[in-house]
């Protein structure tokens, strides 16, 4: 979904839509498939920039990092971004007035959320690609290690069998470098 912010109404824009986010590469070795993304938010002029605030939730399909089985997981989040077109400088009040938006920029109001800084999102022009912004926000919500379930046992390092399905008959020898840690753990378990 593309939005031309140079034509933004001075009162802002309420968004309540479903966005199609294309599949994207993640962690270099897998592709995340994204279901339809319901999105609710607002777009308005604030602090001489364009504030996009919203919430989304969707289902994504990706592979477990332990057993490599594809599974679905829910991803949801809220965000607040300040969109900064390349044509806008640091003091953008005059630029906004000349941009054709027709929006009179009022002095910024201090809100409690302003204390932590701003998330600026640079734009190359005046068009916002909502699907790209949501792709980045979904990516930020994904965990470092994706598991199909908390107790996933993964794959056997020797034969590659899925240990969630059945145990294999491979002999697993402990690395000698971990022997001291194993002894410490045994002592700790006995006490």
Q: Which helix H or strand E contains 130, and what residues bound it?
A: helix 130-141
SS3 18: strand
How is residue 26 annotated by DSSP? E
Closest CA to 122 of 50, 33, 41: 50
Backbone angles phi, psi at 48, to 5 degrees: 75, 5
Closest CA to 129 of 39, 69, 65: 39
Cβ-proximal residues to 169 (8 Å cutoff; 6+ apart), any chain: none
End-to-end CA distance of the chain: 61
Report pLDDT for 118: 60
Query: If DSSP states are collapsed to H, E and C, what string results for 147-188?
Result: CCCCCCCCECCCCCCECCCCCCCCCCCCCHHHHHHHHHHHHH
Query: If DSSP states are collapsed to H, E and C, what string results for 54-103?
Result: EEEEEEEEEECCCCCCEEEEEEEEEEEEEEEECCCCCCCHHHHHHCCCCC
Cβ-proximal residues to 151 (8 Å cutoff; 6+ apart), any chain: none
pLDDT along the chain (191 residues), means of 10: 86 94 88 95 86 96 91 94 72 41 38 52 88 95 89 90 89 81 89 77
pTM of the model: 0.72
Q: What is the pLDDT of residues 122-176, one digit of tens each?
A: 888 888 999 999 999 999 999 888 899 989 999 998 888 899 998 888 877 778 8
Report pLDDT for 132: 95
Radius of gyration (Cα) for the chain, nearest Å? 24
Q: What is the pLDDT of residues 156-171, one digit of tens each?
A: 988 888 999 988 888 7
Q: How far apart are CA 100 and CA 144, in angstroms?
A: 43
């Amino acid at each position: 979904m593309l939005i031309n912010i140079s034509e933004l109404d001075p009162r802002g824009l309420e968004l309540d839509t479903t966005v199609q986010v294309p599949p994207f590469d993640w962690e270099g070795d897998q592709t995340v498939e994204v279901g339809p993304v319901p999105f609710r938010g607002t777009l308005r002029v604030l602090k001489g920039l364009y504030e996009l605030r919203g919430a989304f939730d969707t289902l994504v399909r990706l592979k477990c990092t332990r057993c490599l089985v594809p599974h679905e997981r829910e991803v949801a989040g809220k965000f607040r971004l300040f969109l900064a077109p390349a044509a806008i400088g640091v003091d953008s009040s005059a630029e906004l007035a000349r941009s054709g938006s027709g929006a009179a920029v009022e002095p910024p109001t201090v809100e409690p959320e302003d204390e932590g800084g701003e998330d600026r999102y640079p734009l190359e022009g005046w068009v916002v690609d909502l699907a790209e912004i949501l792709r980045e926000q979904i990516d930020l919500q994904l965990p470092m290690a994706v598991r199909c379930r908390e107790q996933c046992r993964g794959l056997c390092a020797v034969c590659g069998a899925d240990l969630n399905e059945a145990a294999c008959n491979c002999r697993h020898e402990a690395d000698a470098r971990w022997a001291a840690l194993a002894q410490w753990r045994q002592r700790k378990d006995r006490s």
